[in-house]
Structure 1
Amino acid sequence: MPLHELAVAPADVDGAALGLALNTPGPEPLATIRLAHPRGGTLVLGVLGASHLVTVEHPGGRFSEEVSCSAHAHGRALPDRHDAPGYRIETTTTLCGATEFAELAERLQQRCLTEGHSLGGRFPGDDAALTVLCAQPDGAGWQWQTWHLYPAADGGTAVSTTSRWRP
């Protein structure tokens, strides 16, 4: 099932505290999905505690992207944009009103239920407490998007990322 009901409290509860770590040992994900690339190799999408880990296994080695509050220990604060050889991440943080936030959560949950290349984790306490990832091959590499939803009494914060990796 691509949308998992997670029976743990989210470890990351503040989108402003997220960090980025590349090619570092990541924590064990709470839920994963493995996608095969038509040219060889795989990509693993992983939901952490309201954050994510993406791992690319390819003939030349391994690449990983972790966006979480604990990523600061091995990386840096989550940037608006970061470029490295063969890699790019762009991030957006949006403060949403209650209706907009509920609609976004519903769209993302439906995406998980209808698209085979998506993975979602819903955390206890609020149906809009979500982490959602989706990916697809991009030439010899991959591209993926993620959404981290942090509910609040009057709506919530949505942190989204768009990443691309090529060997």
Structure 2
Amino acid sequence: MIYHLDCTPADVSAEALGVSWNGDLPEVLVDKLIDASPHPSTCQLAVIGSSHVVTVETPEGRFREEISCHAPQAEDARWPLPDSITRENYLLQTNVAVLSEEDFARAAEEIAAGGDDWLIASFPGAGDHHLTALTAEFLEDVWEWFSYHLYPDERTIVSTRSIYKP
């Protein structure tokens, strides 16, 4: 399902993205909660200003990843968004693709058709397909989530894959 949001996107450039961890939860525009029962953990996927926050809650505590243009302002942030980073029990891999107009439109349509397992938000702005899309799953005691951040005026898609073992 795509949520069509009527707000001004806060993140309008792929090169402004960074990542931070375990900060405060910013204002959430739309979210989805995934329960890993019988494992005692949940994963909240949240769209914020054209970017995302993922929060894993367990009895032992909370882990939060924020990928946004505001993340570089956090104390423990990485900017620009690294190709790969490993921290305790966590891995982030990113890819930035600048595409032709035709390839961008094709990829955007595929992402927009993600299905019920995806949280997809559409923002107003330059060009069609200003989207943020997220999905997550819990397998073999590990959370894994994926995101797409689409910037139609740049014809750029930033994709991420994160793994966290509570």
Normalised TM-score (structure 1) = 0.92
Amino acid at match of 2:49: G
Deviations, residues 18-77 of structure 1 (Å, cap 9, x unaligned)? 010011113121100000013121100001111100000111110000000000111121
Identity of aligned residues (%): 39
Deviations, residues 80-122 of structure 1 (Å, cap 9, x unaligned)? 10101110000000001111111111111111xx23x210110
> What aligned pairs does 1:136-151 form with structure 2 within 5 A after superposition?
136-151=137-152
> Quick one: distance in 2 between partners of 1:46 and 1:15?
18
RMSD of aligned residue pairs (Cα, Å): 1.1
5+ residue gaps, structure 1, are none
SS at match of 1:44: strand
1:56 aligns with 2:59: no
1:83 aligns with 2:86: yes
Deviations, residues 94-153 of structure 1 (Å, cap 9, x unaligned)? 001111111111111111xx23x210110113431000001111321210000000012x
> Quick one: distance in 2 between partners of 1:96 and 1:50?
19
> Quick one: distance in 2 between partners of 1:50 and 1:28?
12
Normalised TM-score (structure 2) = 0.93
Aligned residue for 2:129? Answer: 128
> Quick one: distance in 2 between partners of 1:46 and 1:60?
21
Amino acid at match of 1:80: D
My pick for the range that moved more, 129-138 or 119-128, is: 119-128
SS at match of 1:25: coil
Moved over 3 A (4+): none
> Quick one: distance in 2 between partners of 1:82 and 1:139?
22
> Quick one: distance in 2 between partners of 1:29 and 1:81?
26
5+ residue gaps, structure 2, are none
> What aligned pairs does 1:13-92 form with structure 2 within 5 A after superposition?
13-38=12-37, 39-74=39-74, 75-77=77-79, 78-92=81-95
Q: Is the 8 A contact 2:51 2:149 kept in 1?
A: yes
Q: Is the 8 A contact 2:128 2:152 kept in 1?
A: no
SS at match of 1:76: coil
> Quick one: distance in 2 between partners of 1:31 and 1:103?
25
Q: Is the 8 A contact 2:27 2:48 kept in 1?
A: yes
> Quick one: distance in 1 between partners of 2:71 and 2:90?
18
